[in-house]
Each structure stands twice: as C-alpha cells, then as structure tokens.
Amino acid sequence: MAVIRDVMPAFDLYQPGSIADAQKLLAQHGSDAWVLAGGLDSFDWLKDRIKKPKAVVDLSGIEELRGVRTTTDGIEIGAMTTLTDVVNHPVIKQKYDLLAQAAEVVASPQIRNQGTIGGNVSQDTRCWYYRGGWPCYRAGGNICYADTPEGRNREHAILHADRCVAVNPSDTAPALIALDAKFLLSTSKGERVVDAEDYFIGPDIDITRLHILQPGDLLTAIRISSTWAGAQFYFEKIRDRNVWDFPLMNVASAMVTSGDNIDHIRIAVNGAAARPLRLKAVEDAVRGKPRNAATGEMAGKLAVQGAIPLQFNAYKIPLMRNLVKRSIGGVEEATWTS
Amino acid sequence: MSETAKPAERQYGAGYKLIGKNYPTPDLYAKVTGQAKYAEDFRADGMLFCKLLLSPMPHARVRHIDAKAALAMPGVKAILTANDLPAPADTLTDNGTVIKASKWGERGLTNEPVYQGEPILAVAAVDELTAAEAIEKIEIDFEPLPFVIDPLDTLRPGGPNPRTDGNIWTRPAAPGSQGPGTPVVTELKWTHADFAEEKHGRLPMGKAPDEWTYGDLDSGFKNAALVLDETFVTPDTSHQTLEPRSAMAYWQNGKVYIHTGTQSTAQTLPAIARWLNISPDNVVFISEYTGGGFGSKITGGVSMIIAALLAKKTNTPVMMRISREEETFIGRARPGFQGRMKVGFGKDGRITALDMFVICDNGPYDAVGDAPSSGRIVSLLYQPQAMRWRGLTVLTNTPPRSAQSSPGGLQGIVIMEPIIAKAGRRLGLDQVAIRRVNCPEGKAPFGPPVQGKRQYATSAFLKEALDRGAEQFKWNERVARTPKRIGTKVRGVGVSLSCYVGGTIGFDGLLVIRPDGRVTFQSGIGNLGTESVIDVHRAGAEVLGVPWEKCEVVWGNTTKNLPFTCVSGGSQTTHAMTRAAYATAMDAKKKLQEIAAKKLGGKPEQYEVANERVFRKGGGAGMSLAQAAKYAIQLGGIYDGHEAPADVHKLTKASVASLAGQGLVAAAKDNYPRDGSTFSYVASFAEIEVDLETGKYDIVDFLASGDVGTVIHPRALGGQMLGRSTLGIGHAIGQKWVFDPHYGQMVSVRFYQSKPPTILDVPVDMQWTALDIPDPETPVGARGVGEPPVAGGCGAILNALSDALGDEVFQRAPVNADTILTSLEAGRPRQHPLMAHI
C-alpha cells in the first residue's frame, strides 16, 4: 500500500445542534467517529490520511458549547468558544488574565479565530515522527523513533518519559491548571467534573492519548472558580518564531501574597512532558517564602530535578529552570533609553 | 531611526519622467483582488486531476509496480511511470553546439528514486480523491539501496554512495578546451587521517577536486597580526514559494498547452520542448502570474511534464496540483555548506590571506554552482590580498537543490561574516571600520586569474553604501550606548557586507508603436513578483517620451510574440532588460526619425522625438507617433516588422514576423559594451535583543543600504531590499531542514516544522536606502537587486548575536534558543559543530 498525504479522505459529516444529539451520534458510530472542534488539529490528521474516520461529528453548530458565562462563583467557558473570544472576554481579561495571556500566544491570529479552547487543551502531540505517520509506540507500534541514538528530538520531553518522549503542545493547559480550572465532561454515564490537571495523562497511563476522554466522551465546558480571580499571574511561552509556533516550553503561575510572602501558589509547565506538569513540589517549597529572586532560583532548581535530556533537548533543562524561576520572581523589564 | 530614512520621503529619478518614480503596475489590481489566475486556477472541459506517488525511501530501485487494483477503480483514467517518459533530449545551443543529455539528470518520474519524496508515478482520475485512493491501492516492490544524508558520511573511508556510480560532481576539462567541461559523477573518499580534525569540531579537509589560488597565501598569513581558523555550518532551506509547482496541460492539434509558474516566460518554452523531446513549435506556454520563484522555477520545473504526458495519454486536459508536502520534496532548496575558513588580518583589519574550504550538499541531481560561486563572491566582497578556494559538490539522498537567492553567495558570506566580527573584537576595531577597509571599490577584481588576469566588477560603491547605512542606522550611537545589559536582556548590534551578481547582457527587446499612437512592449520576463516584467519597459517609454498611460505591456504567454529574454535568475533582469528596452526604444526612435525625413524632407538626425511626436529640431514640420506608425505600415520592410534585424535571436525574429504590419515594429539586441561583470552590493545593519535566561531573541531594528545602480521603481526596489533581507534573516533565526539520518527521512516536512520566517519575526519598521548611483557600464545605470541583500540579512543578525553573546555561542546557523541556552549553560559552543540537518 503506497502512502499519499495532503488529500482529505471522504467521510460522513454530521453536524448536530445539541450536545445530546452529538452524544447519540458518537454512541452510534463508536470507534469510527471523530470529534471535530475548530479543526486545526483534526484536519492535519485527516489531510495526511493517517486517521481515516468514517464519521466526523462537527461540534461547531452546538450553541450551548459556545461562549463565556458568568456563574455564582466564577465563569464557565463553553468548550467551543474560540481562542480569540477567550482573549477578548472582559471578565477573563479582568480576573483571569493568565488564561487570556496564554490564549493570546497560541499559533496565529487566524488560527485563534478558528481554534477553540476545548480543542486547544485536547489536541494531540506534535512529535514530528508521530505526526509524520511513523509506526511508533503512540501509534500502536513498539519503538520511539525520537528516542533513538540518531533520533531528532529538540522539541521532546525531559520529564516523565515512558517509552514515548512526545510533549503536550497546549498553551492554555498550564494556565488552566494554574487557575485550578475544572473540566466538564459529558459521557455515556452522565456528566463528570475533573480537575484540569487530571484531564491530562502521560504515556504511563495511556500511550495513545494525551487526555482522559474515552470514545463517546465530550469536553463541554471549562469552569474557573473565583478562588484565583485577580491573583498575581505570570505566563511566558518560548517558541522559535514570534507567531504560528508551538511552545518549546511555557510556564503559568498564579500567586497570592501577603506582604512579601507567598501565601498560595499554583505553577504549571508545558512542553516538558507528555502532559502539562503541575509543579506541586515547587508550590509546597515556596509557600510561605518571600517572593524574590532567591526563592525563584530555588524553585527553578527544584523544578528540573530528575530531568533527563535527550541528544538535542538539553537546553530545556535551563529553560525550564529559568521559566519557573521567573514565574515566581518575575523578570525585569528592559527599558532602553534609545 | 531618523526620519530621512523613510523611503516614501525620498525622491529618485532626478531628470526623468518615469525612471525612479512609483506607479501602480498593471498586474496590481488583479493580484490584490484575487482576480489573477495562477496555474491551478485554470479549468478546461473534462479536465482530469492527477496525484503523485512519492518514494518512501531515500534511495531504492523499483523492482515491480502492481497497479491493477488502482486502474480497476471507477474514475481512474491512466497511470504514468518513468517507463512512459520520452528519452532525455540533447540540447542544441544557439551557436549550434550539441550538449548530450546527462545520464544523471532528473526526469520527473523515476524507477530509481534517489531521495525520499521523489515521484515514482502519477495517476490521473476524475478527481483528486479518486486519484489519491488509487495511489493507496498501488503496491511497489522496492529494493532498498545505500543512502547518504550528511555529506561527510559519504566522504568517510568506506562510506556509502548516494548514486550507484559515485558521490561527487567533478568537472573534468572539456576536450580541446581550457575551461571545465560537463560535470560528471565520480567517487571520492577521504582517509581516516583526513577525518582526525572532526573530533576537535573542525571541518576535515581532505582532497578537494576544485581549487584555485591567487596571491601569496603563505606570506599573507605570515604577515598577519591575527589568524583565525573557523568552522561553520549553514542551513539547507526550501524555497517554499507560496505557489507550489502546480501545472495544467492539454493538447490541441499536436501542440501542448501548459500553464505553470516560471521565472522566465520566454526561456521556459525551450525547456518544455527539451523535457518532452518535441519541437518548440509545438509548445504553447502560459504563465501570467507566478507565486514566487527565488531560483526554484528558473524555467519552471521538470515535474510539469507529468501533467502534459498524462494529458497526452488520456487525450484530456490534466491538472496537477502540487501539495505543500510534495512541494517540500520536489520544490528545490538551497544547499547547506559545511565550511572552514582560515583568515589572516593585518592590524588595521585588512585581510592579508584567506584559505576557504567548502562542502556543498548538492542533493542527488544536477550539479549546483553554489560552491564555486561562494569563492568568487567572497573574493569580491572582502578583496583578500591572497586567497585559496577549495570546494566539493557532494551528492546526497536529500531533496534536489537549485539556485536560491544568492546561491553560494549567502553561504560564503555567512561563513565569513562571523569571522570578521570576531577579528574586529580581537583587534579592537569598529565593525564598520574593519569592513570598510576590506570593501571592494570601483573595478574591483574577483575570483581566480583566468589566462593570467583576474576578472573585475563594472563598479562598486559599497563604501558609500556602508557609510550611508551607518549614518542612517546611527551605528556609532548604538555602539556607544550603555548599558548593553538590563536584567536578563542583552542588546547587540551587527553589520554585514553583502553582494551578488546583478546583470547580464545581450538579450533582445521588442515594441510596437500602433497606428492609434499607443505603444506595446512585448515582455518575455516571468511575472514572479519582482515587477521587473513591467518595470524595465519604463526605460523604453522614457526614451520615447511616451506617457505611461499610452503604454501597454504584453506578457505571460508565448503566443503573444515575445522577444528572447533573460531568465529572472542571478538578479540579471533589471540590468539586462533595461539595456534591451533602451536599445529597442533607440531603434524605434531611429525609425521614427527616418520615417519623418522620408515624409517631410531633410535628414533623420534633424528630427527629434518627444511628447508623442517626431518633429524638426527647433520647430517646424512633424507628425504624431500615430501618423508615423501608419507610415511605417505603408513603408513595410524594417519599419513594420516585415524585416527583422539580423542580430536578434531566432525567437525574436519569429515574434517580429508575427507582429509585421501592425505598426512601427522596433526590435533590437542589446549590443552595448560592458567593461567588467555586473554586481550589486548591500551593507546590512541589525540590532537584536536576547534574553539570556530563555535564549529567545528579537530583531529590534534592521536597515539595508544598497549600491544597486539607478533606482528604476522605488517601491519594487524596497520590496526586494526588505523581502530578500527577510529571506536571509530566515537563515539566521530558524529556517532549516531536519533529517533522521538513520532512516534517511525528513522530519521537518511542514511549515511549522521547517520554520520559514514570519512577518512578526522582523521589525515593523524595517528600513532600506539606495545610493542611486548609476552603474557606468550600462545605458540607464540600473543593476539587479533581488539577491544581493540576502546574505546581509543573515550576516547582520548573526553578528548582532555574537556582539550580544560573545564568540563562543554558535558555529552554525540558524541560531535558536536551543543553541544559545546549551552553549551559555556549558560556557562554550556545544551544539554538534559539524552535523548536517539537526
């Protein structure tokens, strides 16, 4: 069988108008179904004919999945809300700016107009072997091509690798973990709410997926409670290009201080492992400590403990160390006189 | 940056009505509204679509193709394999020499793929989906063959060969001639001893088949105050034109009609005839709009014959839309260099000796000229007192290369510039000063001696461009500014010299003054975005004194009577074709004067041409151009195209004959003398800000200052100065290929993986300026400008980076966060100094 890419295969397109209808369709088609949100991840898979679902269930016509609602205790963001709408939402900007900052550096303006928050957290890895259709562990094979003596792995994992060394490419995921967001899932057994950090899984749990959704499940909304509203936020994404690029790494932190001291803090990093990492040990270590450079240094060193570099990604260790440091101590803005 | 630097506020073309002025080009509206039809926008009755089956292996032999299941599918019309291709045709040159077809040449389809992604066969079907599904049903039995991804690996003792009969291109002397002959593939292996240098991170320098020298290298090094010996690796970069090489073809009455993009309308026709092995008379080529070339579509691409041959086989029009992934494989790329230079500097920074060694990664097919070009360009740009150049053009099983904006020039300059920056710091010299002392000037010599004498440039005013740029960029202020570091951010400034070839001679022009007084310029230039297809004819209109509103430019179709025209490669068009346009306008002028003298008495020289009239000098009898055109038709012969000048090309003669009787037909060959070879020069300046904790950097400011001859069209010139600088900047900030060498597979197939620069990666307020000094060796003084800015874009960024970070951070381009952080962490360059494609 010869291989050909870049030609979208034929499929049956279903465009349900409600979550219930979507669920029915997914149940009906089982493993032949593919859930389509904004399409930025899906269409790459489909065009390359690596994934060939018989039925595509397009969620874009489901109104109840769109928009940002204020609740008694925070906000609820429909999974199909575009990243542009997340960035521009006044309440998100005002209270949960960490998410707005993260969403604003996703890909490019055009992609943010089309891409959704649900899609951004549920997207697959961009490991160039796996995306190129190589028969690796994640694709059901028995090798990780990136983790071979001559494998090319500058964008791969330094932590929690387990056979596969791919990383999660989401920018909004660490921000949502830092904000202690809850993800609402609609499953065949009913509705389920999970902590943001528990939505994501590494290869040790399931090497073929980056999240917990089972066939037939839908991510319907993301809730952010007011616990971290207006906290001190830090987000930074490092990428090769200034636009239209996945992160080499990113960091998100939310912090509440009293005086100079850190009272509460949540920190997450993505691009270091197959799932966005909440740095609990770092949070514990810095809680009660003064918010300053020394605490940041200590946090950075702690964050990279156990990191194992591959041939081409050793830079991710200082990068993660420094990003975590900055997420606590901040970074001096350079203002030049001319 | 100072206000005077703003291009919009500058005035060019003093004393001219059209030259040096901005104007809306006639293709502008169609381009910005989307009305322009590119190859894949055409449709024809019953048109089929074809898709390609690409080789999954970097080198293999096709043992058997089983397409039964595919051909049995409803809607599948035909399959085309390498067995269906015409025999490669020999080339008959204009002076009658036959060049035998190369046995190593690329033919569009193959039974021995020599790179992953090489087309094996094509399937035509009623739509693309059917064609794709048919391809998935085809079984091919491949015999895998040895392959090479990194050029050094084939040079190792016992290393694999990328082609069955060798690994390097050499040019044995042609029988009975002094110069090099047709390139041939031969085998070269270095010794273990040659490779001893590798473990020190320095490029091994074994036997090199090509070499030249001038001056006394040994005493140059002996007298040097500083000698540096540096290894540097430059990236392979895909051309990635936004329009891929899609093509549509059909046959009518034995003629093939082909739509595709090209860098030359006129010269693509004979290429198609050669590839199809048919007479040029049976080819009609249509290419009104081309979405970028940069050297990848000099005469289109050989792949277009797939559509033509399938159209013939099915007797139906066939559209071949090339996808982005296919374009990555078949769309051409710049060869990366592994280079090493030993350079001696005097106390004042003057280069006393330069020993240059380069390995050019040629890919699997035709020999690219980047390696020899790099030596010539470096010798011109830095005027070393003594120099040796050695080079290898090594074949690999990676996608085919071709010229890319400043081929060889970019690689040579990018290897050289960081060394000059380092020397400036070691010698305590200002970076502008150390470049100024080495600048070419006037009839600057370059390259090796040929029959005892070195060649030289027509002119060079690079010192002036460097000074102008330094002033506008406020170089001294930026250098003196403190602090350099605030928090984790460090700023650095860099300057780079740059130059490339800027013009050829000897092509034809053709115009018609119509009986309604309008002038039609026949343009054989490809419309690839530079606007030279239109711009050069402004020089002709200027000579004739005809308002631009009364001029029309005809282009983009070989049935439209085009003259013999240069290809738009080697930045030759603006130079070559303003000369031809000038010569043609002078021919028209002469004919107008003769017609006036015949009709109104007196001698031709007593008449002048201006304001759409030909009239007696000092007043008196005259006639409009419209009247003169009518008289030209009455007179016939040379006046209305019934006779063509003897010295124009046969293509031009055919076009003149077709236009005969339509008005005053002027045709001329550019026979103007030229003393020297034409080059354009650029001094490029950049400031960057790098974050030491993340390795991320941004370009704060950029300026390109050009010595590019007379400015013809400022807006188009600015587009080239900044657009091509950005192309070069891409080589510094991230564009590259990444290969898994174990499997011979490219992993950076998509844009988000190969990372060409985006508009947000360059400063919003990028600046350019041009000296507007006419080149003394060409009538309107214009030189080409496409390629000269490219290397400056890359060099200025690299030098700004080393200004900020020191000399011990990178030994290759591009430079990204990974390179910077790895080296800063280790305190020395750590990134695999010689490895290709990482």
C-beta atoms of B761 and A8 within 8 A: no
Nearest CA in chain B to A313: B818
Nearest to B129 among A10, A326, A338 (CB): A10
Residue B180 pLDDT: 64
Each residue of A254-306: pLDDT tens digit? 999 999 999 999 999 999 999 999 999 999 999 999 999 999 999 999 999 99
Residue B832 pLDDT: 82
Residue B222 pLDDT: 98
pLDDT band for A338, please (50, 70, 90 cuts).
low
Amino acid at B811: Q
Nearest to A1 among B136, B748, B818 (CB): B136
Query: Hey, is the C-beta of B363 within 8 angstroms of any chain A C-beta?
Result: no
Q: Distance between terminal CA atoms of chain A? A: 62
Q: Quote the strand ranges of B519-602, DSSP E.
A: 519-523, 551-555
Nearest CA in chain B to A236: B694
Mutation choice for B interface testing from A128, A145, A331 by most B CBs within 10 A:
A128
Token pair of B782 as six digits: 């214009």
In chain A, residues with a C-beta closer than 8 Å to the C-beta of B52 are 4
Quote the CA–CA distance of B794 and B762 in Å, as a whole number. 12
Quote the CA–CA distance of A138 and B731 in Å, as a whole number. 33
Residue B4 pLDDT: 55
The percentage of residues in chain A with a pLDDT greater than 70, rounded to a whole number, is 99
Q: Which of the residues in chain B have pLDDT under 50?
A: 1-3
Q: What's the gap between Cα A120 and its chain centre? A: 6
Least confident of A226-235, A328-337, B404-413: A328-337
What distance in Å separates residue A276's CA from the closest CA in chain B?
19
Nearest to B488 among A10, A319, A332 (CB): A332
pLDDT band for A321, please (50, 70, 90 cuts).
very high
Residue B3 pLDDT: 41
Nearest to B129 among A7, A128, A148 (CB): A7
Quote the CA–CA distance of B602 and B594 in Å, as a whole number. 10
Quote the CA–CA distance of A237 and A170 in Å, as a whole number. 11
- The B residues from 82 to 141 touching A (CB cutoff 8 Å) are 128-129, 131-133, 135-140
Count the neighbouring beta carbons within 10 Å of the beta carbon of residue B552. Answer: 15
Q: Is the preceding peptide bond at B335 cis, omega within 30 degrees of 0?
A: no
Backbone angles phi, psi at B188, to 5 degrees: -140, 130
Residue B175 pLDDT: 60
Helices (H), B226-341: 265-276, 304-314, 324-330
Please say whether the beta carbons of A115 and A107 come within 8 A: yes
Determine which helix (DSSP H) or strand (DSSP E) holds A309, and give its type and residue range: none
In chain A, residues with a C-beta closer than 8 Å to the C-beta of B758 are 108, 241-244
Residue B2 pLDDT: 43
C-beta atoms of B838 and A154 within 8 A: yes
Which residue from A34, A37, A44, A39 is spatially nearest to A12, judged by alpha carbons? A34
Whether A184 has a pLDDT exceeding 50, the answer reads yes
C-beta atoms of B740 and A333 within 8 A: no
Nearest CA in chain A to B478: A338
Q: What's the gap between Cα B218 and its chain centre? A: 36
Whether A232 has a pLDDT exceeding 70, the answer reads yes
Nearest to B56 among A3, A150, A240 (CB): A3
Biggest CA pair distance of chain B: 87
C-beta atoms of B694 and A238 within 8 A: yes
In chain B, residues with a C-beta closer than 8 Å to the C-beta of A248 are 817-818
Q: Specify the pairing of strand B247-252 against strand B210-214.
A: unpaired
Residue B97 pLDDT: 82
Quote the CA–CA distance of B691 and B454 in Å, as a whole number. 47
Query: Hey, is the C-beta of B67 within 8 angstroms of any chain A C-beta?
Result: no
- The B residues from 37 to 66 touching A (CB cutoff 8 Å) are 51-54, 56
What number is the average pLDDT over the span A181-186?
Answer: 98
Residue B833 pLDDT: 83
Token pair of A302 as six digits: 């702690």
Query: Hey, is the C-beta of B821 within 8 angstroms of any chain A C-beta?
Result: yes
> In whole numbers, what is the pLDDT of chain A averaged over residues?
97
Place of tokens 């996945």: A246
Alpha-carbon distances, residue B239 vs A125, B481, B814 (angstroms): 27, 38, 16
Mutation choice for A interface testing from B118, B136, B319 by most A CBs within 10 A:
B136
Residue B178 pLDDT: 57
Which distant-in-sequence residues (6+ apart) come within 8 Å of A101 by Cβ?
A175, A233, A235
Whether A26 has a pLDDT exceeding 70, the answer reads yes
Token pair of B127 as six digits: 């739509």
Quote the CA–CA distance of B513 and B520 in Å, as a whole number. 6
What distance in Å separates residue B366's CA from the closest CA in chain A?
26
Which residue from B321, B313, B308, B241 is spatially nearest to B272, judged by alpha carbons? B308
Each residue of B419-478: pLDDT tens digit? 999 999 999 999 999 999 999 999 999 999 998 999 999 999 999 999 999 999 999 999
C-beta atoms of A132 and B486 within 8 A: no
Nearest to A2 among B135, B689, B820 (CB): B135
Residue B5 pLDDT: 57
